[in-house]
Amino acid sequence: MQYTTLNNGIKMPMVGFGVFQIPDLEQCQAVVEEAIRVGYRHFDTAQIYGNEVAVGKAIKASGLPREEFFITTKLWVSDFSYEGAKEEFAASLERLDMDYVDLYLIHQPFGDIFGAWRAMEELYKEGKIRAIGVSNFKSDQLANLAAFNEVTPAVNQIELHVFNQRNEERAYMAEKGVVAESWGALAAGQFDVFSNPVLVEIARKYEKTTSQVMLRWHLQLGLVSLAKSVTPTRIQENFDIFDFELSAEDMEKISSLNTNTTLFEDHHSAKAVEIIAGFVGKSF
């Protein structure tokens, strides 16, 4: 495993396993247990995913020390306030059946993020969270939060894949010491990514799959990536990216695939705000 060091000195595994859209708790626990068997130690869940309980049970069932794992969960928009963050973090800890989490994120850049962040800063100082960060923040939103609070986010988890490489934003995060973590590292299988001619050609060269090539591309750029599968062979495949290295030429070919195409709405758009607000019964 390779690690990156966060701005507070905490080490974070660069290859993680996500559990988005695995709501069935029995299945989720089994999938996480398989991922642990394969070698994953970094797991990413969220309040809104509804499967924190399953992740916690899988960690317990492994019999491995809690310290071997890096566990991330996220606060949802419905609880973005000082009091809401305190209460919901306690609820997440209970569902996970843990004494602390390694990384706690504000899931979306909307609502009372300042109130939530102040609560998270306190929980961080109390040692209940080893690092705090954000998700889906654009550069101006990240700068705003950092400038007017004491603790700079350690991580910004964003949509990042070969078709949406976020070069300027990644450069800004690097300048400010914020680690870029990729959700949607495999572009959610959209845009015919697995049969993309450039990726297929590179994969054949290394006798790897297109998924492995994309995840290796993230790793060599110094990006933390999250991948998800419920299929044991795919789980193993997505982890087996440490035994080859892409050439500079192949890295450049993959970089050329960038079209700044998002899987969702731009999180800086009015429509994105309205979509997220709709999840918590708010409207404009």
Which residues are catalytically annotated?
Answer: 49
Q: Which helix (H) or strand (E) holds 70?
A: strand 70-75
| DSSP 3-state of 90 | helix
Chain mean position to CA 194:
21
CA 155, 159, 162, 166 torsion-angle sign = negative
Residue 174 contacts residue 143 (beta carbons within 8 Å): no
φ/ψ bin of 134: left (φ > 0), alpha (ψ from -120 to 50), beta (otherwise): beta
Residue 13 contacts residue 67 (beta carbons within 8 Å): no
Q: Hey, what are 73's tokens?
A: 């969960």
Q: Which helix (H) or strand (E) holds 251?
A: helix 248-255
Other beta carbons within 10 Å of 263 = 14
Rounded to 5°, the CA angle 225-148-11 comes to 30
